[in-house]
Amino acid sequence: MSIKNYIRDIQDFPKEGILFKDITPLLLDSKATQESLKILSDSLQGQQIDKVVGTESRGFLFGILLAQELKAGFVPVRKPNKLPFDTLSASYALEYGTDTLEIHKDAIQKGDRVLIHDDVLATGGTAKAVCELVEQLGGEIVQLNFLMEISFLKGRAQFPDKKVFAAITY
């Protein structure tokens, strides 16, 4: 089974000039979802993970499944004013604007081994902001995991000293 067959292209979303990779068809198929989870979890090759950090919002979908698979805690990283407790924030640039992300200050403990998961690696701005948040809290990033990578945007170059995995590369 090729999970790439379950990704739909949407032209000019969320704005003109962007080719959006829609994972909805993949989520509609339980076998494709299971295969994706297997590919993502197998990439860790027995690494000990204490926390899986999922980025709002599509990073939550496989992030929480990975946390369950790895018997780790799940940490949501969200847009501003969505988390109810004390937070740290980081701003970043993305391919179609700027944004800010927040994490609970007590979500990561010093020395926690962390897997960061999001649906797509494009320019790397979002993931870089998440790395900054995790490292500010004392977490050790084991790997950055993505369902997809848009390689021509060279986001991987943002992480020369980190292990980066993508189940699909475009």
- pLDDT confidence tier of residue 97, bands split at 50, 70 and 90: low
User: Domain containing 155 — which CATH number?
Assistant: 3.40.50.2020
| 67-90: burial string, b at 16+ Cβ within 10 Å, e else | bebbebbbbbbbeeeebeeebbbb
161/157 Cα distance (integer angstroms): 9
Q: Domain range spanning residue 94?
A: 45-169
Active site annotation includes 58? yes
Q: Residue 12 — left, alpha, or beta (φ > 0 → left; ψ -120 to 50 → alpha)?
A: left
Q: Among 58, 78, 102, 149, which one carries the catalytic annotation?
A: 58
Q: What is the pTM of this model?
A: 0.94
Q: What is the mean pLDDT of residues 18-31?
A: 96
pLDDT score of 93: 78
Number of structural domains the chain divides into? 1
Name the E strands within the chain: 8-11, 19-22, 51-55, 73-77, 87-94, 97-104, 113-121, 140-149, 164-169
Mean pLDDT of all residues belonging to the chain? 96
Check residue 112 and report its DSSP letter: -
Active site annotation includes 78? no
Does residue 6 lie in a domain region? no
Does residue 7 lie in a domain region? no
Which tokens in the block code for residue 34? 């299971």
Does residue 146 lie in a domain region? yes
Q: What is the mean pLDDT of residues 2-27?
A: 95
pLDDT digits (tens, 9 = 90+) for 113-153: 999 999 999 989 999 999 999 999 999 999 999 999 999 99
Does residue 63 lie in a domain region? yes
Q: Among 8, 35, 78, 95, which one carries the catalytic annotation?
A: 95
